Structure formats: C-alpha cells, structure tokens
Amino acid sequence: MFGLVDAKRFDRCQPPEQRVHSLAPGCGTVVVLGSGGRALARDLSRQVAPEVTPALAEQHAWHRSCHIAALLQGEGFPCRAVALDLGSRLPLGRLGEAAGFGTVSPVSGMLLHPEFGPWLRLRAALLIDGYPFGEIQDASIADGFHPCCNCARPCLAACPAQAHDGRGQSDLGRCASHRHAGGCETGCCSRAACPLGSEHRDDAGEFAHSHAFHLPKLQRWFGLGVWRIVPTFLRQGR
Ligand code: SF4
Ligand code: SF4
C-alpha cells in the first residue's frame, strides 16, 4: 500500500515535535508505505522463510522501503526513508489517515482500513524534498468512513489490560506491562475482536500481524525487565 501526503498541509494540524519538517525541513512530499492483509507474509513465506515472524516482515519491508528511497535518490529526488515504528517522531495513525489508508478509530485508536480493518501495518515514510510528482490532493477518507459509530465496541472488552479508554486513546505502557507479564503472547485480542476486515486476520500458524510492536522493543522503551536499570534517554535514544 502507498499513499501521498502533502507535508505542509499535514504539518498544519500536528504539534511542533511531530511535524514532518522537524525531521526533514525541505520535505514537501511524503510517500507512506504499508501492507494490508496477509499478502506480504505469504510472499515472504514463499520466497524467504516458511515461518514469517513480525520481525522478518518488518525487516523485509524496511529493506524494500530503503531500496525505493535509493532509486528516487538516484533519479535526482532528495529523499530519506524513516521507519514508522515505536518511537517514531511522526504520528503513525494520523499519517496513515492522511495517506488515505483509513480512519483512526475514535474508540480504540486503531487505524481501520475499509477492506483490511485493523489488519494493516504502516511500514515506512519516504520524505522527499519538494513536489516531484506535482500537487498532492487530500487523500483522507476519514470524513466518510466511520466504522465505529454503529459498533458494539468488542475491541474494548477484549483487552485484558484495559489499555483503551474508549475515546481513541490507548495506554501503550499498560499493554507493554501486560505483555511483559506473559499476556497476549500471540496477538492483540482487541484487534482480533474487531469485526472489520476479519477475513484478513492471520491464519493459524501465521504471525505477520501478531503485534504492532514487538515485545523486546516495548520492554526497552518502557524500562521493563533488565531495562529498568537503564536511563530513559539511553533506552529511548532521546
Ligand atoms: S496486545 Fe493485549 S494488552 Fe495490548 S492492546 Fe492488545 S489486547 Fe490489549
Ligand atoms: S471493534 Fe468496533 S469500535 Fe472497536 S475498532 Fe473495531 S469497529 Fe471500531
């Protein structure tokens, strides 16, 4: 999946520290790359390794993103790839929304695609100087796509850590603590409970979508386990 975002238009609605220009002052065009459903995992299991872990999918998607950035750079378009991951300066959900990938749920905060529901992943953003592809239209579909309005909200009850407040905010620290203690080992129950795009859930034995962020990353970010003795600025690289 890919979508184009006008960096200046996007930045107008973001807090200063989350603006594209705080990462790349000359950027006008953002190409957002993602994957929906199980297609990436199935490609990888055919071509790379039979069992696709989230780490493998992430690594592969990142290499592909860097490859595209290098091609653009070679064509004379100054460009850099940034991973859309835990600790990313860019707001993942809002960027996906601006790229036309879906709507950020006002209930769970998950990014919901009309076909894939919550079974999509943002992978990387290519920050390109100026507007080499011309003017960028607003691609957001959020004004017309409101899947949570008539939903019984099973995503809330399904979360054993009660990480979602029901108003679109999620406490990732709660989620991390729960998972550090051994909960939600194979996948996110909230995501699995959402009726949207349920046909794109991982099949048994597939782990491509098991979690948006891997447990070791969360443990490091939130200072869990051995990381509790490491200062925050070292753990989070800030
Ligand atoms: S992984 Fe588990 S604790 Fe975290 S949000 Fe999903 S259901 Fe809640
Ligand atoms: S379960 Fe319902 S309320 Fe929760 S994210 Fe999915 S559509 Fe929205």
3-state helix, strand, coil in the chain (%, to 5): 35, 15, 45
Q: What is the pLDDT of residue 167?
A: 95
Model pLDDT for residues 92-128, shown as the tens digit of each residue: 999 999 999 999 999 999 999 999 999 998 999 999 9
**Distance between CA atoms of residues 224 and 129, nearest Å:** 39
Which residue in 31, 42, 15 sits closest to 123, CA to CA? 31
Q: Is residue 210 lining ligand 1, measured as CB closer than 6 Å?
A: no
The model's pTM: 0.91
Is residue 144 within 8 Å of 41, Cβ to Cβ? no
Closest ligand (CA of 117): 2
| CA 191 to centroid of ligand 2, rounded, Å | 8
Please give the C-alpha separations between residue 173 and each of 92, 102, 178, 232, 233, in angstroms, as whole numbers: 17, 25, 9, 14, 17
Residue given tokens 């407040």 in the structure block = 165
Contact (CB, 8 A) for 156 and 113:
no
Q: Whose CA is nearest to atom 8 of ligand 2?
A: 148
Cα of 193 from ligand 2 centre, angstroms: 8
Residue identifier of the C-alpha nearest atom 1 of ligand 2: 194
Distance separating the N- and C-terminal Cα atoms of the chain: 30
% of the chain with per-residue pLDDT over 70: 96
Closest alpha carbon to 191 in 204, 183, 202: 202
Question: Cβ distance 10 to 20 under 8 Å?
Answer: yes
Instruction: Grade residue 209 by pLDDT with cuts at 50, 70 and 90.
Output: low
Of 55, 79, 51, nearest in space to 65 by CA: 79
Residue 104 in contact with residue 142, Cβ under 8 Å? yes
CB atoms within 10 A of CB 237: 9
Q: In 3-state terms, what secondary structure has residue 82?
A: strand
Residue 182's pLDDT band (boundaries 50, 70, 90)?
A: very high
**pLDDT tens per residue, range 226-237:** 999 998 888 887
Ligand lying closest to the C-alpha of residue 105: 2
Give residues with Cβ within 8 angstroms of 231, minimum separation 6.
Answer: none
User: Which of ligand 1's atoms lies nearest the C-alpha of 211?
Assistant: 1
What would the pLDDT profile of 124-149 be if each residue is shown by its tens digit?
999 999 999 999 999 999 999 999 99
Distance 163 CA to ligand 1 centre (A): 7
pLDDT higher than threshold 80 for residue 165: yes
- Ligand 1 centroid vs 106 CA: distance in angstroms? 17
pLDDT at residue 93 in the model: 93
pLDDT at 91 over 70: yes
